[in-house]
Amino acid sequence: MISTFLTISFLATIGSVMAQVGPGAVNLRTAGNYAILAQTGITCVPTCREILESAPAPAASTFITGCSLILDSSGKFSTSSQVTGEVFAADYATPTPATLTVAIGDMQTAYTDAMGRTPPNFLNLGSGAIGGLTLTPGLYRWNSGVTINSDVTIAGGASDTWIFQVIGTLTMANAVHMTLTGGALPKNIVWVVTGAVTTGTTSVFQGVILGKTGITLKTGATANSRLLAQTAVSLQQATVNN
């Protein structure tokens, strides 16, 4: 039977060692092996570009559309001209179904961990309108949706961390960019969102998305991140860089 999963920043040094600022890292476990992980499907409006280690969808391969999949002779994965890496589905050969089941469980565990962190360093910053702000390392929480209508800066060092808890939707306007400064890395930035995540046309998004609902990247959008959704991921001529 086929499964249908488809603070303020500061610098502290001891000698030459730089201290990490921000909350403890979120452990993605095996979900971190994938740049796109979706329980119910992945839709691509060609031509998308997915630059990643692998692009799994823990559902039957029929729930992955627009990628022109070519099944490998092993039966364990597919390839695509739009994907740098491999594409997995729950109706592929062993051990793929079991591996994806574990990854989905790990994604849900990571979501629960990230959403459960307390207390926040910043609560309801900007009343949810964060365009134009500079976000330093820390734990942020909004008890409503978040909108990003102008460019935002995420500033911190390479070992610093951010968790953004959004109780609602996360919406990024067209042509808006997230800019990283000071050496901040997308892998250390986690957006954990209960509602739908939508990035506008030609926008640039930074960080891991742990989404309870769907994730949509509109035409020309770029995400330097992982897209981990408990429903579906939709790419509209977009690029995902892992």
Following DSSP, what letter does each residue of 123-152 receive, concatenated? ESGGGGB-TT-EE-SEEEEESS-EEE-S-E
Neighbouring CB atoms inside 10 A of 215's CB total: 29
Q: What is the pLDDT of residue 19?
A: 82
Reduced to 3 states (helix: H, G, I; strand: E, B; else coil), residue 91 is coil
Q: Which two tokens stand for residue 117?
A: 């962190």
pTM of the full predicted structure? Answer: 0.90
State the sign of the Cα–Cα–Cα–Cα dihedral 230, 171, 221, 9: negative
User: 1-40: per-residue pLDDT in tens?
Assistant: 333 344 233 333 333 346 899 999 999 999 999 999 999 9
Q: What is the pLDDT of residue 58?
A: 58
Q: Where are the domains of the chain?
A: 28-241
- Do the beta carbons of residue 197 and residue 214 sit within 8 Å? yes
Pairing of strands 178-181, 170-172: unpaired
Alpha helices in the chain (DSSP H): 96-116
Q: What is the pLDDT of residue 10?
A: 32
Q: What is the pLDDT of residue 162?
A: 98
Low-confidence ranges of the chain (pLDDT < 50): 1-17, 53
- Do the beta carbons of residue 207 and residue 228 sit within 8 Å? no
Q: What is the pLDDT of residue 52?
A: 56
Residues 6+ positions from 177 with CB-CB distance below 8 Å: 151, 152, 203, 204
Q: What is the pLDDT of residue 18?
A: 62
Q: What is the pLDDT of residue 50?
A: 65
